[in-house]
Structure 1
Amino acid sequence: MPSDTLKRTLRDPVVLLALGLLAVLAVLVLVPVAGLVSSTLRPEGLDAWRDVLTGRLAPALLHEPLLNSLLVGAVTAIGAVVIGGGLAWVVVMTDVPLRRTITFLASVPFALPSFALALAWESVFRNDLVGGRVGLLTDLGLTVPDWLAWGPVPVSATLIAHYYSLSFLLTAAALATVNSELVEAAELTGASRLRVARSIALPVVLPAVISGALLAFAEGVSNFAAPAVLGLPVRFHTLSTRAYGAITTGQTERGYVLSVVLVVVAAIVLLVSTRLAGRRKSFATITGKGARRKRVRLGAARLPVTAAVLLLVALTSIVPGLLLLTSSLLERTGSFTSGFTTHFWTGASDPSMAQGMAGILRNPQIVSAFWTTLALGLSVAVAASVLGLLLGYVMTRLRPADPLQAGLGKGLALLSYLPFLVPGVALGAAFIAQFGRPIGPLPALYGTFAILVIAGVAATLPFASQAGRSAVGQISPDVEEAATTAGAGLGRRLFSIVLPLSSRGLLAGGVLVFVNIVRDLSLLVLLVTPATPLLSVLTYRYASEGFTQFANAVTVVIVVISLAATLFARRLEGASQPWLEER
Structure 2
Amino acid sequence: MTLATAPPRDRAPSPAPRRRRAGARTFVGVGTVAVVGYLVLVPLAYLVWGALSDERGITFAGFRRAYADSQLGGVVGDTALYVAGSTLVAVACGTLMAYAHVRTDAPFRRLFFLSSIIPLALPSVAYVPAWIFLASPDIGLLNRMSDAVLGVTPFNVYGVGGMMFVQGIHSTPLVFLLMSAAFRSTDASLEESAQTCGLGRAVILRRITLPLVRPALAAATLIVAVQSLESFEVPAMLGLHDGVYVLISKIYFLMQQYPIDYQATGALSLGLLAVATVGVVLSRRISRGAAQTVTGKAFRPRRIRLGRMRGAVGALTLAYFAVAVLAPVAILVYASLLKTYRTPSLSTAGFTLDNFSAVLSSGTTLTAVRNSTVLGLGAAVVVMALSAFTGWIVVRSRSRAATAVDALAFTPLVIPGLVLGLGLAFVYLRSPIPVYGTLWILLIAYVTRFLPYGVRYANTAMQQVSAELEDSAVVFGASWWTTMRRILLPLARPGLIAGGLYIVVVSFRELSSSILLYSPGTEVIGVRVFEQYQEGSLTSVAAMGVLLCAFLGVLVTALVAVAGRLGVDLD
Give the deviation of 1:191 after TM superposition.
Answer: 4.1
Equivalence for 1:345 = 356
The answer to whether the 8 A contact 1:111-1:566 is kept is no
The answer to whether the 8 A contact 2:376-2:507 is kept is yes
Q: Percent of aligned positions with the same letter in both sequences?
A: 28
Residue 437 of structure 2 corresponds to residue 447 of structure 1: yes
Give the deviation of 1:335 after TM superposition.
Answer: 4.1
Amino acid at match of 1:361: L
SS of 2:492's equivalent in the other structure is helix
What CA distance in whole angstroms lies between the structure 1 residues aligned with 2:96 and 2:430? 50
What CA distance in whole angstroms lies between the structure 2 residues aligned with 1:211 and 1:370? 36
Superposed CA offset, 1:289-314 (max 9, x none) = 4x333011111222331232133134
What CA distance in whole angstroms lies between the structure 1 residues aligned with 2:370 and 2:111? 33
Amino acid at match of 2:32: L
Residue 233 of structure 2 corresponds to residue 220 of structure 1: no
Amino acid at match of 1:539: V
Amino acid at match of 2:105: D
Residue 539 of structure 2 corresponds to residue 556 of structure 1: no
Equivalence for 1:293 = 301
Equivalence for 2:79 = 69
Map 1:420-569 to 2 at 5 A.
Answer: 420-439=413-432, 442-443=433-434, 445-563=435-553
What CA distance in whole angstroms lies between the structure 2 residues aligned with 1:318 and 1:512? 24
What CA distance in whole angstroms lies between the structure 2 residues aligned with 1:535 and 1:11? 45
Equivalence for 2:410 = 417
Equivalence for 2:107 = 97
Equivalence for 2:47 = 36
Equivalent position to 2:67, from 34, 53, 58: 53
Map 1:319-330 to 2 at 5 A.
Answer: 319-330=327-338
- The 1:566–1:240 alpha-carbon spacing in structure 2 relative to 1, beyond 3 Å, is farther
Superposed CA offset, 1:423-453 (max 9, x none) = 11111111111122333xx22x221111111
The answer to whether the 8 A contact 1:102-1:310 is kept is no
The answer to whether the 8 A contact 1:135-1:333 is kept is no
Amino acid at match of 2:126: A
SS of 2:359's equivalent in the other structure is coil
Give the deviation of 1:204 after TM superposition.
Answer: 2.4
The answer to whether the 8 A contact 1:151-1:234 is kept is yes
Give the deviation of 1:232 after TM superposition.
Answer: 0.6
Residue 178 of structure 2 corresponds to residue 170 of structure 1: yes
Amino acid at match of 1:20: G
The answer to whether the 8 A contact 2:51-2:265 is kept is no
SS of 1:294's equivalent in the other structure is coil
Residue 211 of structure 2 corresponds to residue 203 of structure 1: yes
Give the deviation of 1:81 after TM superposition.
Answer: 0.8
Give the deviation of 1:63 after TM superposition.
Answer: 2.5
Give the deviation of 1:323 after TM superposition.
Answer: 1.3
What CA distance in whole angstroms lies between the structure 2 residues aligned with 1:386 and 1:262? 31
SS of 1:148's equivalent in the other structure is coil
SS of 1:295's equivalent in the other structure is coil
What CA distance in whole angstroms lies between the structure 2 residues aligned with 1:163 and 1:422? 19
What CA distance in whole angstroms lies between the structure 1 residues aligned with 2:250 and 2:439? 26
SS of 1:460's equivalent in the other structure is helix
SS of 2:296's equivalent in the other structure is coil
What CA distance in whole angstroms lies between the structure 2 residues aligned with 1:194 and 1:300? 15
SS of 1:299's equivalent in the other structure is coil
- The 1:150–1:573 alpha-carbon spacing in structure 2 relative to 1, beyond 3 Å, is farther
The answer to whether the 8 A contact 1:127-1:144 is kept is no
> Taking structure 2 as the reference length, what is the TM-score of the superposition?
0.88
Residue 248 of structure 2 corresponds to residue 248 of structure 1: no
Amino acid at match of 1:393: W
Equivalence for 1:356 = none
The answer to whether the 8 A contact 2:87-2:168 is kept is yes
What CA distance in whole angstroms lies between the structure 1 residues aligned with 2:294 and 2:229? 34
Give the deviation of 1:499 after TM superposition.
Answer: 1.5
The answer to whether the 8 A contact 2:86-2:163 is kept is no
Rg larger for: 2
What CA distance in whole angstroms lies between the structure 2 residues aligned with 1:301 and 1:475? 47
SS of 1:339's equivalent in the other structure is coil
What CA distance in whole angstroms lies between the structure 1 residues aligned with 2:155 and 2:266? 31
- The 1:313–1:146 alpha-carbon spacing in structure 2 relative to 1, beyond 3 Å, is closer
Equivalence for 1:266 = 276
Segments of structure 2 that go 5 or more residues without pairing to the other structure are 1-17
- The 1:109–1:395 alpha-carbon spacing in structure 2 relative to 1, beyond 3 Å, is same
The answer to whether the 8 A contact 2:157-2:163 is kept is no
> Taking structure 1 as the reference length, what is the TM-score of the superposition?
0.86
Amino acid at match of 2:219: S
Equivalence for 1:354 = none
Amino acid at match of 2:383: A
Residue 276 of structure 2 corresponds to residue 283 of structure 1: no
Give the deviation of 1:275 after TM superposition.
Answer: 3.1
Equivalence for 1:580 = none
Give the deviation of 1:257 after TM superposition.
Answer: 2.0
Equivalent position to 1:17, from 17, 21, 28: 28
Give the deviation of 1:318 after TM superposition.
Answer: 3.2
Equivalence for 2:157 = 149
SS of 1:331's equivalent in the other structure is coil
SS of 1:525's equivalent in the other structure is helix
The answer to whether the 8 A contact 1:32-1:433 is kept is yes
What CA distance in whole angstroms lies between the structure 1 residues aligned with 2:450 and 2:503? 6
Amino acid at match of 1:435: Y
Give the deviation of 1:329 after TM superposition.
Answer: 1.1
The answer to whether the 8 A contact 1:392-1:469 is kept is yes
- The 1:561–1:257 alpha-carbon spacing in structure 2 relative to 1, beyond 3 Å, is farther
- The 1:43–1:317 alpha-carbon spacing in structure 2 relative to 1, beyond 3 Å, is same
- The 1:318–1:361 alpha-carbon spacing in structure 2 relative to 1, beyond 3 Å, is same
Give the deviation of 1:155 after TM superposition.
Answer: 0.8
Give the deviation of 1:333 after TM superposition.
Answer: 2.2
Equivalence for 2:8 = none
The answer to whether the 8 A contact 2:511-2:526 is kept is yes
Equivalence for 2:9 = none
Map 1:356-375 to 2 at 5 A.
Answer: 359-375=358-374
SS of 1:333's equivalent in the other structure is coil
Superposed CA offset, 1:201-220 (max 9, x none) = 22321111111111111111
The answer to whether the 8 A contact 2:21-2:479 is kept is no
Give the deviation of 1:15 after TM superposition.
Answer: 4.4
Deviation larger for 325-334 or 86-95? 325-334
Equivalence for 2:10 = none
- The 1:327–1:281 alpha-carbon spacing in structure 2 relative to 1, beyond 3 Å, is closer
Equivalent position to 1:160, from 168, 178, 184: 168
Equivalence for 1:579 = none
Amino acid at match of 1:64: G
Give the deviation of 1:234 after TM superposition.
Answer: 1.2
Amino acid at match of 1:242: K
What CA distance in whole angstroms lies between the structure 1 residues aligned with 2:153 and 2:61? 41
- The 1:138–1:297 alpha-carbon spacing in structure 2 relative to 1, beyond 3 Å, is closer
SS of 1:178's equivalent in the other structure is coil
What CA distance in whole angstroms lies between the structure 1 residues aligned with 2:189 and 2:25? 46
